[in-house]
Amino acid sequence: MPLLTPSGGFGLSRRDFLTELSRVGGTALMMAGMSALGFGIEARAAEPPKLGAGGAGKHVVVLGAGMAGLTSAYELSNAGYEVTILEARDRVGGRSWTARRGTVAQELGGERQVCDFDEGAYFNPGPWRIPYSHYGYLYYLRRFGVPVELFNNDNDHSFIRVDKASGPLAGQPLRKQAVTADMMGYAAEMLAKQVRQGALDAEFSPDDKALFLEFLRTEGYLTANDFKYIGTDGRGPAAYPGAGLEAGAPSQPYRLSDLLSSETWRVLRSVTELDQPRTMFQPTGGMDQLPLAFVRNLKAPIRLGC
């Protein structure tokens, strides 16, 4: 049967359908509906689509000077459109901005905050790192020559501390590399014992069994003959050396039961998620560097405070 649209006519336009989706389930449901209709914003292209040169004599108003607005204005201007950007804030970049000494932020409740960092220090209040899969963002960084630097999400030499855990290691700062080495070593030892005892014979051919045991031995740093975990240099020394020729005192692994009760293992993951790889990128000097590069390369005027 025909559907009645909000305007009173029959049939349901895609715009009306998406509007109703957003009313029912918010932006998440609306975005899912857009993807189902082929209007999704997911982008894996290495560069933006070519718009051609059909914009002569046409004027476009872009609402917002965030990353989407700046990108749209830049590409439309290059296609020959006359473009004007209207931005409500007193800056460009939208959520992608950087606070430095003198930056003023006005809260919704009226509170006014002024950044008083030392010169050269900055903070990104919005997004502050770029995964390798953000091809579009990285494309414009390259196009405008914006330098980037590495941002490391994971550091094996950092400390893990769980105050509310139990056992002798509770509340102690433990090096992540030591926790990782010991947990993987003990897990590999226990699994190796099961394989050697034939508990998993149904899963392995003799050749598979030998190769899998070798994997466990190398992965867990187990001893060659009895597949025991007794520690590894990779877990770090007992005392870290300074400059010089000394390698540092060797360390002994934590007891498995102490590690389990410390709950430091909760931070360990075999792999990272797509949008949180261990190594990411950030524009050198702050996330506002790409919006500012757009402004330098834009032909379109930007009206702030609109």
Contact 136, 226 (CB under 8 A): no
**Residue indicated by tokens 């990285």:** 138
Of the two residues 133 and 167, the one the predictor is more confident about is: 167
With cut-offs at 50, 70 and 90, classify the pLDDT of residue 65: very high
Of the two residues 209 and 139, the one the predictor is more confident about is: 139
- pLDDT for 168 equals 93
237-273 pLDDT, tens digit per residue, is 887 777 767 767 778 999 999 999 999 999 888 888 8
Of the two residues 139 and 269, the one the predictor is more confident about is: 139
User: Mean pLDDT over residues 155-172, rounded?
Assistant: 91
- pTM listed for this prediction: 0.70
- pLDDT for 44 equals 64
Of the two residues 11 and 214, the one the predictor is more confident about is: 214
- pLDDT for 49 equals 79
Question: Angle 198-200-201 (CA atoms, 0-180°, nearest 5)?
Answer: 65
Of the two residues 232 and 15, the one the predictor is more confident about is: 232
With cut-offs at 50, 70 and 90, classify the pLDDT of residue 41: low
Is pLDDT above 80 for 6? Answer: no
Is pLDDT above 90 for 298? Answer: yes
Q: Which domains does the chain have, with CATH numbers?
A: 1-42 (no CATH), 43-152+281-303 (3.50.50.60), 159-271 (1.20.1440.240)
Of the two residues 287 and 106, the one the predictor is more confident about is: 287
188-207 pLDDT, tens digit per residue, is 999 998 888 877 777 778 88
Is pLDDT above 80 for 2? Answer: no
With cut-offs at 50, 70 and 90, classify the pLDDT of residue 139: very high
* Phi, psi for residue 174 in degrees, rounded to 5: -115, 135
Of the two residues 169 and 51, the one the predictor is more confident about is: 169
As a whole number, the mean pLDDT across the chain is 87
Is pLDDT above 60 for 4? Answer: no
